[in-house]
Structure 1
Amino acid sequence: MTDLIWLGPLRQGQHQESLLLPLALEAVAAGFPSPADDYVEAAIDLNGVLIPRPSSTFLMRVDGEAMRGEGVHHGDLLVVDRSVAPRPGSTVVAVHEGRFVLRRLEGRPGRWRLEASDPNTPAIALCGENPDLLIWGVVMHAVHHLCAPSSRSRRRGAVTRASPEALGVEP
């Protein structure tokens, strides 16, 4: 089962300062532009691009490999928006049996199910009367690390395991 580690909500005004990073003019193919080339197009603020609705956005870290086939791996950082309505094919965070799970929403009204990309993980059928299941938010972005972050960078942000109850979700 893929568990999620709650990193906390982003609040309006929590990050007053923008961090503008250079945005390359060209997409990278298999090489790197010459240092002599003028390759910086503009500046980009990743908070504005990745988190357009801070008051309904949470960050969560993935714990497990059930969604590896979707390109979401253990340790990845998820940007989850609770204000976005899930649609078929959406990757969602749900509460199932009192725990957060990461799955893809499939089916149609009356026959919804949550599926993992791992074929050994059974689908979870959504029943309208099932109080143990709740779609908590839609995953907007997954930040995948190509090289593991150092232990020093992991200490900067407080990471806690939070139950759905701690976030105001009743199982």
Structure 2
Amino acid sequence: MIHLEILGRVDQTTLPIALPLAAGEVRAGFPSPADDYLEQELDLVAHLIQHPSATFYMRAKGASMVRDGIYDGDLLIVDRSLDPKDGDVLVISVDGELTCKRLGKIGNLPHLLPANPSFQPIPLEGADCQVWGVVTHNVHALRRGVAR
């Protein structure tokens, strides 16, 4: 099971911080020469958060979503304004326990689906559920020792 830690809301009072965005694309396979110039600047908050007043951050705890690329300690960006759809990753309270799972169906019944075969799907039929929001982005460090 993934447990979640609430970190806070998006700070709408801070000024945007634009960071350089390199022109071109980077390939994840065979390397190609890098471009020698910057195309524009990018504000990550503006790029990642569509509804700031309805968005908050949470920290994932656990291993139930690893095959979806959500690892222990990752920062989740959660939007409360989105209507959950089949296939969305949700932050949801089920019978009073907060979890993060993908919404799906087994047969015709709604379930929360883990992304780790060591965990079982959670049936939603008859459960007391409250959707906290849809996970829109996941941020995790690739270098060890990077502050979280």
Same fold at TM > 0.5: yes
- Do 2:56 and 2:77's aligned partners in 1 also have CA atoms closer than 8 Å? yes
- Do 2:7 and 2:59's aligned partners in 1 also have CA atoms closer than 8 Å? yes
Q: Which residue is equivalent to 1:117?
A: 115
Q: Does 2:134 correspond to 1:135?
A: no
Distance 1:57 1:149 in 2: 27
Root-mean-square deviation (Å): 2.0
Number of aligned residue pairs: 145
Which runs of 5 or more structure 1 residues have no equivalent in the other structure? 155-171
Q: Which residue is equivalent to 1:14?
A: 13
Q: What letter corresponds to residue 19 of structure 1 in structure 2?
A: I
Matches within 5 A, 1:1-171: 1-11=1-11, 13-15=12-14, 17-29=15-27, 30=31, 33=34, 37-38=36-37, 40-107=38-105, 111-127=109-125, 129-131=126-128, 133-150=129-146, 153-154=147-148
Structure number having the greater helix percentage: 1
Distance 2:123 2:5 in 1: 23
User: Identity of paired residues, percent?
Assistant: 35
Q: What letter corresponds to residue 88 of structure 2 in structure 1?
A: S
- Do 2:95 and 2:127's aligned partners in 1 also have CA atoms closer than 8 Å? no
Q: CA deviation at 1:24?
A: 1.0
Distance 1:94 1:146 in 2: 27
**Structure 1 ranges of 4+ moved more than 4 A:** none
Structure number having the greater strand percentage: 2
User: Which shows bigger deviation, 135-144 or 22-31?
Assistant: 22-31
Which runs of 5 or more structure 2 residues have no equivalent in the other structure? none
